[in-house]
Structure 1
């Protein structure tokens, strides 16, 4: 994710003069660095004088949420997210992962019910969620996937295009000819897009179209793979041409070019330090995963919308690959009762919970088999774990209820009702 950290991020939230002062102070005094997160190393400035550059010294995994919003020039918002990625960096193992999430994935948006995941940002801004759309997107990710993102970068179309041009474009190989007569223009019309197959050099405008179009057989899944291909191409260009020192030196000009289209909570030193860390990670330690057809199933909502739902164990395998097997370990005792006439449902749900690390202490039929709604009943100290379990199973927050005694030798009782769906792959 070098292009976000080294091109778009440097100096965010600062004007040109303020940036120069802050950059000087950050490199010489490091007064604003979080304790234990950023150190400094010494290199040589262009004039031969010592130059101290921030270095990431934290040992905890760093998760960064990347949002690409569908903002067109002059639009006040709120906006949906065309792109939703999580970048995870392990400073100790020196590894980096990128997870791309389909915009049509059907999830629970805390406080707003079930919807496509790309609406979380829109709803958060539109309805005054604390922290706005970015915060609601982060909470939606945490609730449904158990992924906490301490940092975020939000980018619009214009900033992306300018960033690529500031790098001098990128080189990549287009695997198939793209013909998109209905590629959207900036005014809700169409701007036909054609790109032949083959290896070529792309400017910012063409790269944006390549990363946005869905006019190939794989639709949105192909688009997510192309976006990851662009990330690799940017990284390769920055490293091959040894551009990182130049990008840091040109930070004020870069910031002036993209500042209107980027929002982040990364500090100056964190941006530089993470960019340097990412540059040091070898290619064979980078994993990029798309939540694709093998991890999802088509689903038609009650109002007729065509969306995607998760196959839990398949998604869990992908998350364990990127974030490690200990990504989400819930040390609670859980009972699963089948309150339906569907044989084996409780056992299938118990199996789906196994990767979360819970201790399933009881699997049986409920005292009745005609429960209409699924309920997750939790002792008050286990409420947060119950919400994580509900999110993993694709249940709404309203399914979770605090009770003094869930009537089992456990902290959480999952009582399955007729509304609990069967999803290919089992759950």
Structure 2
């Protein structure tokens, strides 16, 4: 018999305990971390290759046009980094790993990681971002006995096999992320993606408004667990889904757009879950919450750090942006497939595009929300001189918004004008990259709000900086 999601009468699973144990605030708050991050990447994975992840759930703001725009970026607020030990004034980077773990398997066995992402929590902007890595990304392992290359999803296994612990596996992958991409990991968390349905059940399920184009009809579904396979249907309109069916809906590719529609379904599940989380007091049922996650999450977060981290999570209110390091940039592919000498199919990557995504996910404080305008005063035509500088600032240096302004009267030297004192560090950095003395920065008050923070006027001495 086909099971459908039409009726909103799926039972809400409630976890019960025979005795009431004393769970610490650390235990309970780790659940919140898990819940805020579970749905963003591939805990709905059907076992296939994840080449790209998901667009941002909440697109950033754009600023008004000033002349010809060069693909302006959203401008989330950054934080001071690195810096003091308090979580209230520094960004916290959390490595989240989802293991390819089947029902009946133990955490303590070695698995490759099917989900690899870094969550970064910003105490200033009250936002959280996640950067995902495809499992077949080709990286260098920096090991105690030397270096060699392979898929990123084997880095965890290298550490685990060397020392036989989950912590060793997570630390090895954290080290390799820093070695290859410069990402410093503060803490790690290892999750069992099959436990997501229990987490959703612990909040009483979720409510989703399914559009017609994302409806699913008579799909033969199995979670490879204890439940027998069945036909499931998810009708258009308002639906209440318990964990099992929420996971099933998010895993479905049964529509014309395949993986693209699956991404949209996952976004609906994430948005619904976050809405539910922040409409409830999550600690009202600590036994149910703890039981939902205790067998699915391992971590290294110290008890003393939990109160501050909890305040960060509460302040974020689910304001989440997601990125994939494998996504194209301006239509240019970031990853490409090739076969290693040993016959393994892997993904190579373009360093410039990867740098772009790193700058998006981990913005520098002094650049956050900044706008830079470039005007060409070289005096003779040249192919995209100003746009080449714009791409350098955006991709190589992480300047959030770069505009191409009108051409200007020919001038001998390149100048930098600072219109807002709060952006001085950015102006100083630009001067350093371009070989211009800091003392030569011109400071002016902006005539009106339409002026950029920093104006670069290209002169006849202009040389594009090295990347």
Of 357, 360, 367, 1:321 maps to 360
Of 19, 22, 28, 2:23 maps to 19
Partner of 2:178 in structure 1?
142
1:319–1:259 Cα change, 3 Å: same
Structure 2: where are the runs of 5+ without partners?
A: 1-18, 29-83, 367-391, 399-466
8 Å contact kept, 1:120–1:133 = yes
Q: Does 1:207 align with 2:251?
A: no
1:183–1:249 Cα change, 3 Å: closer
Q: How many pairs does the alignment contain?
A: 290
1:164-175 matches, within 5 Å, as 164-174=200-210
**Once the 2 structures are TM-superposed, how far is the Cα of residue 150 of structure 1 from its aligned partner?**
0.9
Deviations 1:3-35 (A, max 9, x none): xxxxxxxxxxxx9645259889xxxxxxxxxxx
1:194–1:291 Cα change, 3 Å: farther
Partner of 1:396 in structure 2?
none
Partner of 1:309 in structure 2?
348
Of 190, 193, 198, 1:162 maps to 198
1:111-260 matches, within 5 Å, as 111=143, 113-128=148-163, 131-174=167-210, 176-177=214-215, 185-186=224-225, 195=234, 199-212=238-251, 227=266, 229-239=268-278, 241=279, 243-244=280-281, 247-260=282-295
1:249–1:194 Cα change, 3 Å: closer
**Once the 2 structures are TM-superposed, how far is the Cα of residue 125 of structure 1 from its aligned partner?**
1.8
1:23–1:107 Cα change, 3 Å: closer
Q: For 1:192 and 1:82, how far apart are their aligned partners in 2?
A: 26
**SS at 1:19 equivalent:** coil
**Once the 2 structures are TM-superposed, how far is the Cα of residue 139 of structure 1 from its aligned partner?**
1.6
**Once the 2 structures are TM-superposed, how far is the Cα of residue 289 of structure 1 from its aligned partner?**
1.4
8 Å contact kept, 1:102–1:221 = no
Of 51, 54, 58, 2:88 maps to 58
More helix by share: 1
1:116–1:218 Cα change, 3 Å: farther
**Once the 2 structures are TM-superposed, how far is the Cα of residue 152 of structure 1 from its aligned partner?**
1.8
Partner of 1:418 in structure 2?
none
**Once the 2 structures are TM-superposed, how far is the Cα of residue 105 of structure 1 from its aligned partner?**
1.9
1:94–1:293 Cα change, 3 Å: closer
Partner of 2:100 in structure 1?
70
Deviations 1:156-192 (A, max 9, x none): 13432211100111233556345865866138x9777
Q: For 2:187 and 2:90, how far apart are their aligned partners in 1?
A: 13
Of 281, 299, 320, 2:316 maps to 281
Partner of 2:455 in structure 1?
none
**SS at 1:143 equivalent:** helix
1:272–1:228 Cα change, 3 Å: farther
Q: For 2:184 and 2:231, how far apart are their aligned partners in 1?
A: 39
Structure 1: where are the runs of 5+ without partners?
A: 1-14, 25-35, 39-56, 328-350, 358-426
Question: RCO greater where, 1 or 2, for CA within 8 Å and sep 6 or more?
Answer: 2
1:374-413 matches, within 5 Å, as none
Report which stretch shifted further, 108-117 or 216-225.
216-225
1:216–1:69 Cα change, 3 Å: farther
Q: For 1:144 and 1:218, how far apart are their aligned partners in 2?
A: 34
**Once the 2 structures are TM-superposed, how far is the Cα of residue 273 of structure 1 from its aligned partner?**
4.0
1:177–1:257 Cα change, 3 Å: closer
Partner of 2:128 in structure 1?
96
1:280–1:153 Cα change, 3 Å: same
**Once the 2 structures are TM-superposed, how far is the Cα of residue 260 of structure 1 from its aligned partner?**
1.8
Partner of 2:447 in structure 1?
none
Of 300, 307, 313, 2:338 maps to 300
1:121–1:219 Cα change, 3 Å: farther
RMSD over equivalenced CA pairs, Å: 4.2
Q: Does 1:355 align with 2:389?
A: no
Q: For 2:293 and 2:356, how far apart are their aligned partners in 1?
A: 37
1:133–1:182 Cα change, 3 Å: farther
8 Å contact kept, 1:183–1:213 = no
**Once the 2 structures are TM-superposed, how far is the Cα of residue 304 of structure 1 from its aligned partner?**
3.9
1:153–1:223 Cα change, 3 Å: farther
Q: Which structure would you say has the larger Rg?
A: 2
Q: For 1:184 and 1:22, how far apart are their aligned partners in 2?
A: 31
Of 140, 156, 161, 1:108 maps to 140
Report which stretch shifted further, 58-67 or 150-159.
150-159
1:92–1:21 Cα change, 3 Å: closer
Q: For 2:137 and 2:153, how far apart are their aligned partners in 1?
A: 8
1:22–1:221 Cα change, 3 Å: closer
Deviations 1:331-362 (A, max 9, x none): xxxxxxxxxxxxxxxxxxxx89x9379xxxxx
Q: For 2:193 and 2:85, how far apart are their aligned partners in 1?
A: 31
